[in-house]
């Protein structure tokens, strides 16, 4: 089955069954509280971490977060919570 047909079927099933898109399509869920906290669920791992930059692996691409004074408050296999001053969040496709 071509990839785009599979994606369309997942979207259709998600809509018809009223399932959250992040669960059905394996997408990250990102929750920000102002510029102070960012919580990311459904990532595939931490690629880089410094007090100014965090890069996470996603199923399709990466998530780049830039800012200042980053501290990891929580880290689990598929979840991470950062604290600091968040200045930039970018999704990078493969």
| Predicted confidence (pLDDT) per residue in 28-79, tens digit | 999 999 999 999 999 999 999 999 999 999 988 999 999 999 999 999 999 9
* Residue 56 β-bridge partners: 46, 63
CATH number of 26-92: 2.60.40.2000
pTM of the model: 0.75
Q: Which residues are CB-contacts of 81 (< 8 A; sequence separation ≥ 6)?
A: 37, 38, 39, 40, 72, 73, 74, 75
| Predicted confidence (pLDDT) per residue in 1-14, tens digit | 455 777 777 676 66
Each domain of the chain, given as residue ranges in start order, spans 26-92
């Amino acid at each position: 089955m071509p990839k785009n047909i599979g994606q369309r079927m997942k979207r259709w099933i998600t809509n018809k069954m009223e399932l959250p898109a992040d669960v059905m399509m394996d997408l990250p869920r990102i929750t920000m509280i102002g510029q102070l906290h960012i919580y990311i669920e459904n990532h595939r791992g931490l690629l880089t971490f410094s007090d100014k930059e965090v890069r996470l692996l996603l199923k399709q691409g990466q998530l780049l977060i830039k800012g200042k004074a980053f501290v990891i408050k929580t880290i689990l296999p598929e979840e991470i919570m950062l604290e600091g001053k968040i200045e930039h969040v970018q999704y990078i496709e493969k």
